């Protein structure tokens, strides 16, 4: 398969053997597809490089081999300054989930513990003690090639990456700034279920098969960082050294978007988002912290319509 030419067909499968450990424009595309083509992408568990067994502990792992990424996938016609939209249609879990504690990673100072291997039966995670939890798969890692030097697979940033945001799931549309020709999309680190924060540092890690489509948007202007569009909310994502700094990046992006949509002054846009937006935590365990600022989708999309009606 030639990475430089568009692969024909309604569906294009990308095997998990197309594996890298960084977000980088230096990687040769695994495949090049046209906007709108359906992609079926196999992803590898965050610990898929290690022969782990029940009772093992997550100690002494080579972090540079954690969070393997499938990709990159080039989207024909995507250029720096564009917005790449990733429409996640489905995430199918494969095999068992692995959960434990990485020393020094979780929000609590917790000693290491034996790994749990968790099965999914009838859409529910079978947890110790007879508990059954409804599975809700999400991709911990989804991102594009960054503008500068390669970024390790375990890190988040303006390119997206390891943002561990539970809304990177089926039914969501994730928007990325394009920094390199083709966009160059990478993904991995699927979880069976993850809460906000990923508090112990390891949500149940699993192989998966992701069905998605990519489109190019040039009507949104240039965006600085990822956004997530769900059925009822629009989320602005920021990653930084602290949650406060991450929240500030996401808030700045929302303020700028409101100004662009309405023509309001920055002062009034800041006041408006203070009334209508919510600051939430995505993850606190990946070196940089990731926060999101969320606003009602109907209200947000109606701002531009209201301005057009008045003009």
Q: Of 294, 151, 138, which Cα lies nearest the Cα of 210? A: 138
- How does pLDDT run across 43-101, given as a tens digit for each residue? 999 999 999 998 999 998 999 999 999 999 999 999 999 999 999 999 999 999 999 99
Q: Cis peptide leading into 72, omega within 30 of 0?
A: yes
What is the mean predicted confidence (pLDDT) over 128-148?
97
Looking at per-residue pLDDT, the higher value among 165 and 304 belongs to 165
Looking at per-residue pLDDT, the higher value among 6 and 131 belongs to 131
- How does pLDDT run across 14-23, given as a tens digit for each residue? 999 999 999 9
Please determine, for residue 3, whether its predicted confidence score (pLDDT) is greater than 80.
no
- In whole angstroms, what is the distance from residue 127 CA to residue 125 CA? 6
- In whole angstroms, what is the distance from residue 237 CA to residue 253 CA? 9
Q: Which residues contact 268 (CB under 8 A, 6 or more apart)?
A: none
- In whole angstroms, what is the distance from residue 43 CA to residue 94 CA? 9
All CATH 3.10.28.20 domain ranges in the chain, comma separated: 227-310
All CATH 2.60.120.580 domain ranges in the chain, comma separated: 11-217
Tokens of 46: 């965050």
- In whole angstroms, what is the distance from residue 101 CA to residue 115 CA? 8
Q: Which CATH architecture has domain 11-217?
A: Sandwich (2.60)
Q: Which CATH number fits domain 227-310: 3.40.50.1980, 1.10.1240.10, 3.30.70.260, 3.10.28.20?
A: 3.10.28.20
Residue 8: which pLDDT band, with cuts at 50, 70 and 90? confident
What is the mean predicted confidence (pLDDT) over 132-157?
98
Rounded to 10 deg, the angle between the 297-310 and 243-262 helix axes is 30
Following CA atoms 184, 85, 249, 168 in sequence, which dihedral angle do they give, to the nearest 10 degrees? -90
Residue 200: which pLDDT band, with cuts at 50, 70 and 90? very high
Which of 159-168, 260-269, 285-294, 302-311 is predicted with the least confidence, judged by mean pLDDT? 302-311
Q: Of 179, 153, 157, which Cα lies nearest the Cα of 25? A: 179
Tokens of 251: 């808030």
Q: Which residues contact 13 (CB under 8 A, 6 or more apart)?
A: 39, 40, 41, 42
Q: What is the CA radius of gyration of the chain?
A: 19
What are the beta bridge partners of residue 290? 239, 283
* Percentage of the residues of the chain whose pLDDT score is greater than 90: 91
Please determine, for residue 2, whether its predicted confidence score (pLDDT) is greater than 60.
no
pLDDT of 309 reads: 60
Global pTM value: 0.95
What is the mean predicted confidence (pLDDT) over 4-13?
80
pLDDT of 310 reads: 57
Q: Of 252, 188, 215, 179, which Cα lies nearest the Cα of 86? A: 215
Residues, the chain, total? Answer: 311
- How does pLDDT run across 94-123, given as a tens digit for each residue? 999 999 999 889 999 998 899 999 999 999
Give the other-Cβ count within 10 Å of 129's Cβ. 4
pLDDT of 124 reads: 98
What is the mean predicted confidence (pLDDT) over 230-258?
98
């Amino acid at each position: 398969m030639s990475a430089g030419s568009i692969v024909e067909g309604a569906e294009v499968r990308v095997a998990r053997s197309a594996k890298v450990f960084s977000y980088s424009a230096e990687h040769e595309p695994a495949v090049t597809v046209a906007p709108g083509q359906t992609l079926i992408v196999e992803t590898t568990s965050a610990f898929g490089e290690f022969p782990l067994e029940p009772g093992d502990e997550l100690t002494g792992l080579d972090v540079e081999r954690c969070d393997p990424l499938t990709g990159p996938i080039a989207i024909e016609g995507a250029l720096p300054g564009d917005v790449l939209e990733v429409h996640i249609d489905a995430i199918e879990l494969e095999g068992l989930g692995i959960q434990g504690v990485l020393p020094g990673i979780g929000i609590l100072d917790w000693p290491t513990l034996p790994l749990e291997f968790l099965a999914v039966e009838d859409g529910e995670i079978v947890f110790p003690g007879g508990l059954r939890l409804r599975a809700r798969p999400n991709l911990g890692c989804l991102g594009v090639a960054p503008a500068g030097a390669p970024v390790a697979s375990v890190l988040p940033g303006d390119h997206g990456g390891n943002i561990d945001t539970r809304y990177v799931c089926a039914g969501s549309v994730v928007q990325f700034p394009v920094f390199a020709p083709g966009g160059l999309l990478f993904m991995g680190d699927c979880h069976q279920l993850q809460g906000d924060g990923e508090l112990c540092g390891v949500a149940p890690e699993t192989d998966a098969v992701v069905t998605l489509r990519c489109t190019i948007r040039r009507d949104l202007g240039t965006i600085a960082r990822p956004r997530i569009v769900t059925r009822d909310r629009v989320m602005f994502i920021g990653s930084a050294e602290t949650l406060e700094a991450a929240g500030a990046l996401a808030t700045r992006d929302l303020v700028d978007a409101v100004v662009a949509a309405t023509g309001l002054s920055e002062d009034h846009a800041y006041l408006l988002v203070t009334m209508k937006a919510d600051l939430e935590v995505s993850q606190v365990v990946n070196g940089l912290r990731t926060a999101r600022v969320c606003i009602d989708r109907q209200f947000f999309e109606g701002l531009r319509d209201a301005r057009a009606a008045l003009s």
